[in-house]
Chains A and B, each alone.
Chain A
Amino acid sequence: SQTIHQWPATLVQPVGSPLSLECTVEGTSNPNLYWYRQAAGRGLQLLFYSVGIGQISSEVPQNLSASRPQDRQFILSSKKLLLSDSGFYLCAWIGQGLAGNTIYFGEGSWLTVV
């Protein structure tokens, strides 16, 4: 069966420090991968999605970036964090090629920028 993992689960980072959140999917190949952010009390904001290795689409201009170095690995990064980057970050995946396929989420990563 397919599983998705992301880490770290929680982190506290100072303003101006770098960030790296990692997500991996098991049990499937060539998935579409997504990064979402959820600020406190707010809805889910789509940040990035990827349909293949090295292919990244950005939905919101910001100081975050994403990379997909391997088929089932998706990384969210920042060179210098801002206070406004605090939130709950979720990685997600769906399979390729099926019209009515569902999206599955990881456990999430809580980021607090101080």
Chain B
Amino acid sequence: DAKTTQPPSMDCAEGRAANLPCNHSTISGNEYVYWYRQIHSQGPQYIIHGLKNNETNEMASLIITEDRKSSTLILPHATLRDTAVYYCIVRPRGYKYIFGTGTRLKVLA
């Protein structure tokens, strides 16, 4: 399974864009990149996923580099409610979902 590397923590000013990086240099061609976030004392919540192309939904945008070895989750206008731990994971076609330690994002007023 491809492993992911994320910075342990980041700060972002409220109203600004939050850019969360993820390195997945060992990703293989059929593995998807998924992003989840976990607010304290809750289960992780799905945000977005992609394979090759950039993706956007109502929550965020996902930018995947052309070589697919890294990606960036963008929260365009961060709010205090976006304070959470963000997980980047690589989803193989098998059964395992392995989460790393994630990035603790703190949105500052």
Q: Please provide the chain B residues from 89 to 105 with a CB less than 8 Å away from any CB of chain A in the complex.
A: 91, 93, 95-102
B42 to chain A minimum Cβ distance, whole angstroms, is 7
In the bound complex, CA of A32 to CA of B34 (Å): 17
Contact A99–B32 (Cβ < 8 Å): yes
Q: Output the least CB separation between B41 and chain A (Å).
A: 7
For residue A39, give the distance in angstroms from its CB to the closest CB of chain B.
11
Q: Determine the residue in chain A with the shortest Cβ distance to B92.
A: A99
Contact B46 A57 (CB under 8 A): no
Complex CA–CA separation, A32 to B50 (angstroms):
21
Query: B44 at the A/B interface (Cβ < 8 Å)?
Result: yes
B49 on the A face (CB < 8 A): yes
A43→B102 contact, CB < 8 A = yes
Which B residues are closer than 8 A to A by beta carbons? 30, 32, 34, 36, 38, 41-46, 49, 51, 87, 91, 93, 95-102
The yes or no answer to A46 lying at the interface (CB within 8 A) is: yes
Among the listed B38, B43, B93, which residue makes an inter-chain contact with A99, where contact means beta carbons less than 8 Å apart? B93
User: Are B99 and A88 in contact, with the CB atoms below 8 A?
Assistant: no
Q: For A113, list chain B residues within 8 Å (CB).
A: none
Task: Quote the shortest CB–CB distance from A28 to chain B (angstroms).
Answer: 16
